[in-house]
Structure 1
Amino acid sequence: MRTDRVPLLWLSGPTGVGKSSLGWEIFDRLGRGGVKAAFVDADQISLCHPEPEGGTHRVRARNLAALWPGFLREGMRCLVLAGFVDTPEEVREYTELLPGAAFTVCRLRVPSEELRERFLGRGWRPDLVEAAVAEAAAQEGSRYADLCVDTGGRTVAEAAQLVLGRLGAAFGTAAPAPGRVPVVQGGGVAAAGRARVPLLWFSGATASGKSTVGYEVFSRIHRSGVRAAYVDLRQIAALRPSSADEGRRLKARGLAALWAGYRADGAAYLVVSGEADSDETVRAYARLLPDLAPTVFRLHASPATLLERVLLRGRGGGPATPGDELRGLGRDALRTVAARAAREAAALDRAGAGDLRVDTDDRPPPELAAQVLSHLGLPTGT
């Protein structure tokens, strides 16, 4: 491996094989070992629909390259990428935009029956399981990867150990400390006379429903035929070990970098889910996004609802996201998290944070999305 480039481990394979879970485990292990590592889930950096011309890989490659300088500025020494790819030509779309990365593409595989079990165990779109199995069979003849690792019959921890063993001890430590890295300035000053794009920002305490409601609103907008982009701030700033200040810088610069590309693709809305503990927080982001007009929706839930949702996430319920800190925690620890979330919600309420409070108790995401869109004067959709 050349030591003048930053190592990038790319985990690929069919839907349901465990790319994101394994990627996060490897990232977490590296961070706990003192290696400053970053993690990116490719699905999370291509949420712009209807899909722009050029396809998903063009968007993902461009956005990965846009996030790269921010990670380097904070001292990243390696990056773990989880995302599907199918051909050498698709791989080149990424490598051509990141000459400073030393790519190792690892294809994951499991036996067909185990893939079925994993896919169905996720509880999401069981109607797609056979398509996933067929996709896995087609990948058996592929030639895009540098190595193939069979993770069948192994836990995530065991699979991580296997992959790291195949990479060798040098992975994550071979890159020199990065030199001067250009600052990502975002989209620049809004052009005179150019209409500002609506930014719909969903904030609130832990388990208030930020990501779920934000994604539902994004889905309704793009299903109406209007191009929109979605960014979950937690998913674009995974860097360990890191400080709170580093995390905030990564989120702000990353959002600005992603938006520049989405704006060029013609996105007419940007939907964001993430922390907005004060109006000043939003203003700090807005300074990097001068062509956006923000509206902050503060989601609120009662202590009882927050506890119920936190316990559900602890049991593995709800949407699966890489690095969910609640999954697998004991009941006492989850109750502590829920109590902290309730205090956070109360503080946001006292401060009157956001432009509109949206109560989420006993209300499904489609109903909440309809309320938000109605407030904006937009069709509520389905």
Structure 2
Amino acid sequence: MDILRLAGPPGVGKSTIGWVVAQQAGDDGSPTAYLDIDQLGMCYPAPNGDPERWRLKERALDAIASALRDHGVLRLVVSGVACPEDPPPSTIGGPTTSLWLDAPADVIRDRLAPRGWGEEQLVDTVRIGVAESNRAHRSWKRVPIGSSTLADSVEAVQAAWSHSAVEPLERRGEHVPVDASRSPGDRAEPSVVWVTGPRCAGVSSAGWSLAMDAWGGERRTGFIDAAQLGFLQNLAGAARSAQLALSLVAILVREFAAAGAAECVVVAPLETPPDQVHSVFPSGRVSFVRLDVAPEQILAQALARTRGGGPILAGDDLLGASRETAEAVAATAAEQRSWPPRQGEQVLDVSGSGPGQVAEQIRAAARS
């Protein structure tokens, strides 16, 4: 498997560029996957001795990359933060090209501005990002992005994607020490709260609020967005892709358990049936909660997403889309509302409730 890793300061365009590069990498029919490594480290409070969760993310990436390779994926694009002081980590699964994307502070500030952050947060993020780039290890292959267009940036990254930066796998221990006593198999599976529902029903917001409540109480908990682990192209059959994506969720749950998490909150599309989830957690406790909201609320949320409301995530086809696209998504979601509850699934009508209120209802349902 040929692996491309993109790192750099916040706002430089890692995810945007990585997503396009991954899509183009599969244009020739090659089985291809995309991951944002930040999605592999949402486990708080941070494990002891790993305050930035660098080790957790790298271990999770190694486990997931191995599974992707074993399922026939030939190209993997990984974007996201990396420890700037260390040499680029080699990823198990195949030869790795590691690129550090560079851009001036004013360009980064302009790209972060649409996120709606306050001035203090914006200034601090730019300052920290510039400092990271300045101290990035010399082994990173640097690619200047500057004020280039997206097309030009993608072209520059594609031109730099080679095997010239490959480091022997046996040297990984220098960068990401492996603690054999922390094998995922050494811990029981954590309990899983599986939150699902039609698209634009507020599933992700409610699940995030639920996880934040646990983090605020200092209960080590993992958060997983299943859709963000399922960016797979050209595998043989949709069923195979769906099963692999579900397996990746199970891998990440076990990595979080190995890091000390007693619970994981998973937000997932409604299309994933509970019986398949149980098949990858044979000994774990899984609570299934399905959210239901009024059709007009679904449409309002879909329209808000077209205007950039909510978190910016890879693969969001609603961002910047037309009203017709939003209405089509809402129509599909309305049809999904008619699906009967599946075995073990609790349906909650949360129309008109905010994420915090919904989180309380989910927690109550999971306890029952």
- Name the TM-score, length of structure 2 as normaliser: 0.86
Which residue is equivalent to 1:274?
268
Which residue is equivalent to 1:130?
123
Deviations for 1:254-285, whole angstroms, at most 9, x for unmatched residues?
1221122222222111111113447xx22222
Separation in structure 1 between the aligned mates of residue 341 and residue 366 of structure 2, nearest angstrom: 23
- Could you tell me whether the CA contact under 8 Å between 2:215 and 2:221 is conserved in 1? yes
Look up the equivalent residue of 1:80 and give its one-letter code: V
> Secondary structure at the residue paired with 2:290?
strand
Deviations for 1:181-202, whole angstroms, at most 9, x for unmatched residues?
xxxxx977x99xx7x7421110
Q: How many residues in Structure 1 have an aligned counterpart in Structure 2?
A: 347
> Secondary structure at the residue paired with 1:101?
coil
> Secondary structure at the residue paired with 1:267?
coil
Give, in angstroms, the shift of residue 124 of structure 1: 4.2
Which residue is equivalent to 1:76?
73
Matches within 5 A, 1:103-118: 103-118=96-111
Which residue is equivalent to 1:207?
200
Distance 1:114 1:31, change over 3 A: same
Separation in structure 1 between the aligned mates of residue 69 and residue 267 of structure 2, nearest angstrom: 24
- Residue among 219, 228, 231 paired with 1:226: 219
Which residue is equivalent to 1:329?
321
Matches within 5 A, 1:172-211: 197-211=190-204
Matches within 5 A, 1:44-193: 44-55=39-50, 56-87=53-84, 89=86, 91=88, 94-95=89-90, 98=92, 100-124=93-117, 126-138=119-131, 139-167=133-161
Which residue is equivalent to 1:358?
348
CA RMSD of aligned residues (A): 2.7
> Secondary structure at the residue paired with 1:318?
coil
Distance 1:7 1:232, change over 3 A: same
Give, in angstroms, the shift of residue 126 of structure 1: 4.8
Give, in angstroms, the shift of residue 153 of structure 1: 2.0
Matches within 5 A, 1:18-57: 18-55=13-50, 56-57=53-54
Identity %: 27
- Could you tell me whether the CA contact under 8 Å between 2:87 and 2:140 is conserved in 1? no
Separation in structure 2 between the aligned mates of residue 29 and residue 144 of structure 1, nearest angstrom: 29
- Could you tell me whether the CA contact under 8 Å between 1:187 and 1:291 is conserved in 2? no
Which residue is equivalent to 2:179?
none
Deviates more, 1:144-153 or 1:249-258: 144-153
Look up the equivalent residue of 1:160 and give its one-letter code: V
- Could you tell me whether the CA contact under 8 Å between 2:346 and 2:365 is conserved in 1? no
Which residue is equivalent to 1:265?
259
Deviations for 1:312-352, whole angstroms, at most 9, x for unmatched residues?
212222111111122232222221121111101222xx346
- Could you tell me whether the CA contact under 8 Å between 1:119 and 1:126 is conserved in 2? no
Which residue is equivalent to 2:175?
none
Deviates more, 1:334-343 or 1:28-37: 28-37
- Residue among 295, 305, 312 paired with 2:287: 295
Separation in structure 2 between the aligned mates of residue 132 and residue 225 of structure 1, nearest angstrom: 25
Separation in structure 2 between the aligned mates of residue 149 and residue 11 of structure 1, nearest angstrom: 10
Separation in structure 1 between the aligned mates of residue 22 and residue 62 of structure 2, nearest angstrom: 19
- Could you tell me whether the CA contact under 8 Å between 1:199 and 1:295 is conserved in 2? yes
- Could you tell me whether the CA contact under 8 Å between 1:216 and 1:366 is conserved in 2? yes
Deviations for 1:215-271, whole angstroms, at most 9, x for unmatched residues?
110111121011111111111121112332122122221122112222222211111
Look up the equivalent residue of 2:352 and give its one-letter code: D
Separation in structure 2 between the aligned mates of residue 339 and residue 353 of structure 1, nearest angstrom: 25
Separation in structure 1 between the aligned mates of residue 158 and residue 148 of structure 2, nearest angstrom: 14
Distance 1:143 1:126, change over 3 A: same
Which residue is equivalent to 1:9?
4
Deviates more, 1:46-55 or 1:352-361: 352-361
* Structure 2: gaps spanning 5 or more residues: 166-182
Deviates more, 1:201-210 or 1:284-293: 284-293
- Name the TM-score, length of structure 1 as normaliser: 0.83
- Could you tell me whether the CA contact under 8 Å between 2:198 and 2:270 is conserved in 1? no
- Residue among 303, 320, 337 paired with 1:311: 303
Look up the equivalent residue of 2:336 and give its one-letter code: E
Separation in structure 1 between the aligned mates of residue 87 and residue 44 of structure 2, nearest angstrom: 20
> Secondary structure at the residue paired with 1:16?
coil
